Structure 1
């Protein structure tokens, strides 16, 4: 070591337990500033460079990119944000690996006659899977109703399932089938829209959907307990949502009329079946709640008047 307090590149490398090539690499990228140059033009570093180099190595051991390491060295409060970003990125990578594993198991477990079809379905889904296609489906389906953005967001949040964090092969298949279903032309473009979306029917869809969300919540306990459709608060709320949305009263005549309209509405049962496969029986889907309430209405209106 020289008579002053500075270190040569070789001395710094030895003190920090790295190679001279490593010191030169970080120095060239501005992470390890030189204190001075010797008379022969060689780099010299101050004693503080040892701790700085050890910190750089620790950050790089965590696979932080060199630019992020520079931000941590220059800004005391940068580390927390960088850690959060790295954790989010790692979470996405882990989710992708779990999805790939389940997808490969799905292909491994099926017979040769099914493999090509399943490979086509699974191959159409991004990894990790995205809910963009189901969200677009619902925005198209709800578009004629001209709902407020707040309500559209709430409906989509309830209707679009999130991919499981640790999917089974069966859930991978269900999500892939769901993705294929919603990627086709929207049923609203070729099979008509529900009566509530049609201006000539006199409904106010925003009022209706707010009421339906409450009715579905009321019906959920009965669905979880696997109780058959029946009269009660949930059905009354369901009918009131329709009645209130078209400015009329809940009467026996209205209930009979509503039964006919609901029977004629287009259905997306396959969508809700696939959602149920993804979310499991513990969380009733809006589609299952709607069917339960519709059947309860059918049973009630089919009975002779007292």
Structure 2
């Protein structure tokens, strides 16, 4: 035995703080081979077995399989290579777990039906290519055959969700909801109408009647009235609406006052659809952008003010 101290399997188990069964299992796998045998044929282990056992247990705790550990121990593979490969595999598992957690959280919060749960799970599992196809189909339904030019390309980019490689739970939940919303035929029709209105001036040879322009005008003109508590149907609102109509005139295609008010009302009602604001809120979460300013208070005020004057 060359003067080395040898331990029985029981003594090794006590020194290593584990069980005889564990050492026997690793020994049978070839990971902790005995240094010798006793006259009675029992396995004997040297001091190196303790360090070897600690190393095996560390790698097992990190999730490495026995086959990979054996190749590392036998120097068939470098530990760094095995660690890198395992880290990559863990990244995939973490992403899958995040997706599952996001879907289950959404199911619990929304009280989803089995059909809705299946759809959410399906949307969450889409690959990057499949997500791009889904978004591309939505944008084509909204802009196809209507919008051309760099300004409209920028608008389309501003409406494109880009889920990061390692999304958090909130981003996954936002993606699932946005994907569902983008497949809603009514929402697609709403966005299509808005794009048609945006492109009207462009098709006629004038500047595009962008909703961003309209939103900015309404916000700047109406926000002070909302803050001041002016009632939209009151006489005090008359001059505010008059200025609003003047400032929006270049975005409308009629000169008659009554028709202009009706046309502006229709456009503002579409802009005030809660699904539009929800889409951009979800988009901000997915893309890591600051949350968009809510236009609901000023749009509500403007819609009610126009309705009161049209009805009057």
TM-score by length of 1: 0.48
TM-score by structure 2 length?
Answer: 0.47
